[in-house]
């Protein structure tokens, strides 16, 4: 292998690594705040990519109707709970209307805009908005009532969500794979390396996203509330941070990150309705390296995983996926040794 080939593989690995990094960070976020090992994370990736494809071909994406349905069910459940708490009917009705305003607006804009051939960036924003709003509803309907149960139960529920979302993906988008147009054509030269602008964009977006998240957690009240929930759920609750709101917000953030990863990834690789599982699991493999707790280790591991995949596909292309997923074993060994040295429960 010569150095220019190594350079190509390196850049390729970085592009994939950037995507996995986003997912790894989202996995750590979701687990630390809600204790959910959200194996359906990857479905938001495919939903993001394929929702954009639908919009670009002038169709109203099925995910929009899913979002509207979930919004209605979610609002109905909230209203029922409020009525049971003896809240006034007028007040409850007002609350319901308010909660439905945003999804209704989004639905109206999408239905209106879909056949009008909006530019790529505008459709991307629309797709991101639709998939992001799926996140909070997913948390509300699937996990909120289970919030007090074991990690195991939450994880099995996440598997149920994965099942349902993959099935819906097939209904919405069909079995055909698609690839979206690039946001930024052409190549740039960085020193000795030829880098496609698209790869550069993926890397820049990842860095931007991590910075934004860092600012959010450091400096915003909502972000601090999430950090508090992650550190001590009970304590956070005592100072007035609602676990339900934290959970919904977290799932919203995670869905946004995943959808963003999806629209970026779909320019380079073909997306099928069921591609999400493997992509999401790679994010998890990286997150496991950080024991599902550490953002920096998870992010670094994701970049490493991108390299393993890239070089692995060159040397043994048929076993590429096998190599990537086997990488979790040495990681677990390392965690296990570290744990034994520290003594006590992980």
Partner 1 sequence: MSRFLEPGRMAVMAAVLALAVLPLTPISEFWITQLNFIGISSLVALGLVLLTGIAGLTSFGQAAFVGIGAYATGYVSVVQHMSPWLGLLAGLVVTVAFASALGLLTLNLSGHFLPLGTIAWGVSLYFVFGNTDAVGKYDGLVGLPPISLAGVPLDRGRSFYSFLWLVVLLASLAISRLLDSRPGRALRALKDGTAMPEAMGIRTFHYKLVAFLLAAVLACVAGWLLAHYQRTVDPSMSSMQASINYLFMAVIGGVTYIGGALGGAALTQILDDRLQVWLPHLIGGAGHYEGIVFGLLLVLMLQRANRGMFGVFDRWASRSRREVTPQALPRSPRAVSAEPLLRVRGLRKRFGGLLAVDSVDFDVGAGEIVGLIGPNGAGKSTTFNLISGVLPPSGGTVTFDGQDISGWSARAIARAGMGRTFQHVRMVPEMSVLENVALGAHQRGRAGVLGAVLGFDAREERALLSEAAAHLARVGLTEYMHEPAGNLSMGSQRLLEIARALCTDPKILLLDEPAAGLRHSEKLALAEVLRGLRAQGMAILLVEHDMDLVMNVTERIVVMEFGRLLMSGTPREVQASPAVRAAYLGVETEGVSA
Contacts with partner 1 by CB under 8 A lie at 37, 39, 142, 145-146, 149-153, 155-157, 159-168, 170-171, 174-175, 277-278, 281, 284-285, 288, 292, 318-326, 328-329, 332-333, 335-336, 339-340, 343, 345-346
Tell me whether residue 174 or residue 181 sits nearer to partner 1 (CB atom). 174
- The neighbour count for residue 156, using CB atoms within 10 Å, is 14
> Is 191 strand, coil or helix?
coil
Tell me whether residue 199 or residue 308 sits nearer to partner 1 (CB atom). 308
- Look at residues 341, 176, 184 and name the one whose alpha carbon lies nearest to residue 271: 176
Residue 232: CB minimum distance to partner 1, A = 16
Residue 154: CB minimum distance to partner 1, A = 9
Cα separation, 74 vs 147, in Å, equals: 16
Residue 67: CB minimum distance to partner 1, A = 16
Tell me whether residue 241 or residue 324 sits nearer to partner 1 (CB atom). 324
Tell me whether residue 218 or residue 339 sits nearer to partner 1 (CB atom). 339
HSE value, Cβ hemisphere, 13 Å, CA-based, for 134? 28
Cα separation, 115 vs 113, in Å, equals: 6
- Please tell me what DSSP assigns to residue 242: -
Tell me whether residue 17 or residue 42 sits nearer to partner 1 (CB atom). 42
Residues in the chain, overall count = 346
Residues in Cβ contact with 320 at an 8 Å cutoff, skipping those fewer than 6 apart: 309, 312, 313
Residue 279: CB minimum distance to partner 1, A = 12
Residue 174: CB minimum distance to partner 1, A = 8
Tell me whether residue 148 or residue 240 sits nearer to partner 1 (CB atom). 148
Cα Rg of the chain (Å, integer)? 21
Residue 322: CB minimum distance to partner 1, A = 4
Cα separation, 94 vs 271, in Å, equals: 41
Tell me whether residue 202 or residue 273 sits nearer to partner 1 (CB atom). 273
Q: Which two tokens stand for residue 262?
A: 């999806």
Tell me whether residue 60 or residue 323 sits nearer to partner 1 (CB atom). 323
Q: Which residues share a beta bridge with 74?
A: none
Residue 166: CB minimum distance to partner 1, A = 6
> Is 115 strand, coil or helix?
helix
Inter-axis angle of helices 243-265 and 221-231, nearest 10? 110
Tell me whether residue 62 or residue 103 sits nearer to partner 1 (CB atom). 62
CB–CB of 154/40 below 8 Å? no
* Cβ burial, residue 185 (10 Å; 0-12/13-18/19+): exposed
Residue 168: CB minimum distance to partner 1, A = 6
Backbone angles phi, psi at 194, to 5 degrees: -90, 120
Residue 332: CB minimum distance to partner 1, A = 4
Q: Which two tokens stand for residue 191?
A: 């020193």
Helix (H) or strand (E) holding 239: none
């Amino acid at each position: 292998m010569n150095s220019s080939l190594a350079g190509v593989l390196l850049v390729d690995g970085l592009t994939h690594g950037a995507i996995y990094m986003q997912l790894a960070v989202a996995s750590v976020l979701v687990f630390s705040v809600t204790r959910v090992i959200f194996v359906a994370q990857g479905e938001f990736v495919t939903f993001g990519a394929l929702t954009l494809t639908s919009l670009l071909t002038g169709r109203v994406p099925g995910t929009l109707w899913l979002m509207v349905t979930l919004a209605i069910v979610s609002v109905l459940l909230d209203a029922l709970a409020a009525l049971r708490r003896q809240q006034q009917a007028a007040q409850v009705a007002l609350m319901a209307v308010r909660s439905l305003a945003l999804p209704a607006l989004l639905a109206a804009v999408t239905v209106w805009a879909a056949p009008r051939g909006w530019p790529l960036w505008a459709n991307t924003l629309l797709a991101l908005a639709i998939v992001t709003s799926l996140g909070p509803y997913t948390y509300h309907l699937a996990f909120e009532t289970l919030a007090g149960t074991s990690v195991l139960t939450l994880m099995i529920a996440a598997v149920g969500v994965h099942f349902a979302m993959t099935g819906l993906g097939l209904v919405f988008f069909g079995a055909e794979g698609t690839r979206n147009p690039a946001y930024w054509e052409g190549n740039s030269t960085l020193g000795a390396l030829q880098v496609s602008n698209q790869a550069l964009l993926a890397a820049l977006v990842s860095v931007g996203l991590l910075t934004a998240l860092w600012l959010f957690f450091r400096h915003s009240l909502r972000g601090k509330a999430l950090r508090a929930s992650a550190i001590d759920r009970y304590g956070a609750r005592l100072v007035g941070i609602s676990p339900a709101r934290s959970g919904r917000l977290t799932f919203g953030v995670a869905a946004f990150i995943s959808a963003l990863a999806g629209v970026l990834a779909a320019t380079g690789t073909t997306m099928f309705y069921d591609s999400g599982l493997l992509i999401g699991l790679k994010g998890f493999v990286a997150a496991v390296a950080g024991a599902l707790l550490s953002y920096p280790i998870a992010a670094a591991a994701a970049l490493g995983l991108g390299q393993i995949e890239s070089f692995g596909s060159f040397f043994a292309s048929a076993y590429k996926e096998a190599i990537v997923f086997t990488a979790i074993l040495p990681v677990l060994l390392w965690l296990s040794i570290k744990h034994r040295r520290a003594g006590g429960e992980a």
